Structure 1
Amino acid sequence: MAASNKCPVWCDQRHPDGAVHRGEVGETTVSGLRIPVVILQVPGGPADVAISGPVYVEIHADDRDDMAELLGLAGQHALAGLVRQADALARGGAQ
């Protein structure tokens, strides 16, 4: 449920009003490293999906399906699933 500062449902709501919304969709481990997938949104702007952790990759909305497919082909099925889940949430879908 959205907070009083009109956070999206996926936002962790641990920020002051007017700050960037952030929500961690989930995490997986790749080569022993924690890799979270997050959604970020400047108030009034579009929601962005990013793979975070030891490297940071922001995934353009038009590329999320392709990135998930590539991750799956590379055997990173859990990470691919998190990207798909984040994409659905960022587009306003259910978790």
Structure 2
Amino acid sequence: MQHKEDKRMQPECARILAERAGMMGRDFRLAHPLLKQCDKELQAYRCIPQPGFEKSLQFHLSWVVLCLENGIHFYNQQEHERQQAAKDENAAKKTMAKFSSF
């Protein structure tokens, strides 16, 4: 960060700027391990990094994280629906068994 000591900059602005630069550095160090370790999930949820956004690390990383979150949410929703369908099917079988014994 070149201008954080600029005398024309308000101290609060300089503090926030330094904080943001630190966050960007952490994000950059997290991006590669995240993409490497979550490769199967990235493929399964079709979270393939978008072409043209490689240079915009903040957008790219945010997009990947949101895509993964949406993927797991959709997966959990499908699992819940499958469990409900299985319960409904078992209840219907029990009801049919009661009526068929008459």
TM-score interval (norm. to shorter): under 0.3
The structure with the largest alpha-carbon Rg is 2
Would you tell me which structure has more strand in proportion to its own residues?
Answer: 1
Q: Which has the higher contact order (CA 8 A, sep 6+)?
A: 1
Higher helix share: 2
